[in-house]
Amino acid sequence: MERYEFVATTTNKEKMITVIFSVTMVGLLVGLALVSYYFELDNYIKPYSLFKSLTIVLILGICFLSARKLQELLSKKYVVELDGNNIRIWGNDKEIMSGTVIFCEIDYNKQKVGDKALRVDIYTHTDKIKFRARSKRVRTIEGEYTWNPLGTGEVSDIETLLSLGRKLKDIT
């Protein structure tokens, strides 16, 4: 029996994060424009372009921090036990799925510049689960690492999920 532990999200949660991040950013910017318009602050703020720029940077910072917090809330620690063709998957100590694996699909996007992204879709006779993992650190063009606000886990989580996907692909 083999055991794999990693942090990832599922497809639906990944979509939720994308939509909420976009809505938050647009909502805050539109809210700022409406407050400025209805309270006639435009005449007072117009000469202070630095103030407007700092406000927009602050709004973008709030959006990235809220996306990070949302990502932490929606990411789960998954434990997968593999015994031959049989698989059992737990998410935060609650069993999500079990059964015989019939198909596994892997999509691994490893770029020299940018982030590592991995998608592993596991199908049994009765259920399916689609894992998504993205690195919290992104390599820039200069080769430096920087923070990825939409990252789900560390590189070790991606490698663990990739080894699980390859093992399942060999079995099926």
Distances in Å between the Cα of 71 and the Cα atoms of 63, 129, 149, 165 are: 12, 18, 8, 23
Query: Within a 10 A sphere around the Cβ of 3, how many other Cβ atoms?
Result: 11
Look up the pTM and report it. Answer: 0.76
Q: How confident is the model at residue 111 (pLDDT cuts 50, 70, 90)?
A: low
- Contact of 67 with 22, CB cutoff 8 Å: no
Is the distance from CB of 118 to CB of 161 less than 8 angstroms? yes
Q: Residue 113 has what pLDDT?
A: 47
pLDDT at 116 over 80: no
What is the band of 166 on the pLDDT scale with cuts at 50, 70, 90? very high
Q: In this predicted model, what pLDDT tens digit does every residue of 22-77 receive, in sequence order?
A: 888 888 888 878 887 787 776 776 677 777 778 878 888 887 788 778 878 888 89
The span from the CA of 54 to the CA of 42, in Å, is 15
Cα maximum dimension of the chain: 71
pLDDT of residue 128: 93
Residue 5 above 90 pLDDT?
yes
The percentage of the chain sitting over the pLDDT mark of 90, rounded to a whole number, equals: 31
Amino acid at 95: E
Contacts of 40 by beta carbon, 8 Å cutoff, 6+ apart: none
